[in-house]
Chain A
């Protein structure tokens, strides 16, 4: 059961909040949902490269979630 859980280290920008997420899915869009966000308001980046919402995340990796919304 615990085999399917992925542990991810997430940095959320611009807030610069760090979170460890135990994800029961495997795709970028599932991570976004687990963070309580909408795919329409973020871009997820791995090593400087933007990921597609269907891309697979890997156990133990570090990802950056950039919120698109800005005050003005």
Chain B
């Protein structure tokens, strides 16, 4: 009874109406001077994603590895990619890495699995404890390195390894405009132009060594990705990582930039678009990155041994890159076998 009453009130009292169609608006996009209903908000977000897909050539890719953390940003990205790329015949493969961060990782894994199932794509779940025998916190502790840097290294390595083994054209990650702004402002503060140049909407592939990155949410803010997930009923796990430092610089920058955006609507999108435009310049200012091949696992490395093989050798006595690659080959083979079985059944 009360439910019905309050939702009637809600419709009648919607304070703003959609600038496009006049339906009740759910959001104001101040910088674009728009109020949008759920339908037109969805279109607004997907238009921004479409720009990046076109620019990076993602819609012409054959196969894309999609990094699915279980959180809202990668969830919004996968949902959008699955619906937007359906007509283009791009094969999407979801990859989730269970880092072994306790309850947080278990919940994230459940949501990642649920989401891949919902959008109808295969999901490769890499459980570190099962594949390597160690979790991220154990690796970090035994190597005496900060958990976040070990976590980043492990994620980058595994995503790239899956993409190389699957012969994918791209790895798509759910970094939002807010992430890109925070990371680049931090790099500017430390005058690390090489770091800035790596945060373009896409990075290039080095055949057989490293697969390029693409960031479809480059122009989509975190608030937009949250709202997109909510209105589309996309499953995600909303929680902070328990190992996150108390006040990471990126977090502080985000808070500051959002205050700035409130006072000066449009400053974030202006920054992001100009950053995109100037990426070539930052790239030329950066170090010339020449990739070699890790002598243990054969993947991209700046030295003789890659960071992942160095870390795992230090902790377990053996470099584990090749072991990870072999495990991935096995999973991909059984995935292919399953698919051809389904095709046989389907026909």
Chain A residues engaging chain B, CB cutoff 8 angstroms: 13-15, 27, 38-43, 45-47, 49-56, 58, 61, 66, 68-72
Cβ-closest chain A residue relative to B73: A70
Q: Say yes or no for B241: interface residue by CB 8 A criterion.
A: yes
| Chain B residues with CB under 8 A of A54 | 15-16, 28
B227 CB contacts on chain A under 8 angstroms = 43, 50
Task: For the complex formed, measure the closest distance between the CB of B226 and the CB atoms of chain A, giving whole angstroms.
Answer: 4
Q: Which B residues are CB-close (under 8 A) to A14? A: 238-240
Contacting residue for A52 out of B6, B35, B221, B244, CB 8 A: B35
Residue from the list B15, B35, B225, B244 in contact with A27, Cβ < 8 A: B15
Looking at chain B's contact residues, the main secondary structure is helix
A72 to B182, CA, bound (A): 11
24 pairs of residues in contact across A and B, judged by CB atoms under 8 Å: A27-B15, A38-B255, A40-B258, A40-B261, A43-B226, A49-B7, A49-B10, A52-B14, A52-B26, A53-B27, A53-B28, A58-B6, A68-B221, A68-B222, A70-B71, A70-B222, A70-B238, A71-B241, A71-B244, A71-B248, A71-B251, A72-B179, A72-B241, A72-B250
Nearest residue, chain B, Cβ from A41: B258
Closest to A33 in B: B262
> How many Å from the CB of A9 to the closest CB on chain B?
14
Q: Known contacts A38-B258, A49-B10; is A69 also within 8 Å of B251 by CB?
A: yes
B230 and A43 within 8 A (CB) = yes
Residues in chain A near residue B7, CB distance under 8 A: 47, 49
Contact A47 B3 (CB under 8 A): yes
In the bound assembly, the distance between CA atoms of A37 and B240 in angstroms comes to: 18
B113 is an interface residue with CB less than 8 A from chain A: no
Chain A residue at minimal CB-CB distance from B41: A50
Q: Which residues of A contact B14 (CB under 8 A)?
A: 52, 55
Task: State the CA gap A45–B6 with chains docked (Å).
Answer: 13
Given contacts A41-B254, A41-B255, A47-B3, 6 further A-B contacts (CB under 8 A): A39-B262, A40-B261, A43-B226, A46-B6, A52-B16, A58-B6
Give the docked Cα–Cα distance between A54 and B26 (Å).
Answer: 9
The answer to whether A52 and B248 have CB atoms under 8 Å apart is no
Cβ–Cβ < 8 Å partners of B223 in chain A: 40-43, 68
CB distance from A59 to the nearest CB of B (A): 13
Q: Are the C-beta atoms of A50 and B255 separated by less than 8 Å?
A: no
Which 6 pairs of residues, A with B, have the shortest CB-CB distance? A54-B15, A40-B258, A68-B222, A68-B223, A68-B226, A71-B244
Contact A52 B15 (CB under 8 A): yes
CA separation between A61 and B73, bound complex, in Å? 29
Residue with the highest number of chain B CB atoms closer than 10 Å, among A38, A52, A72? A72
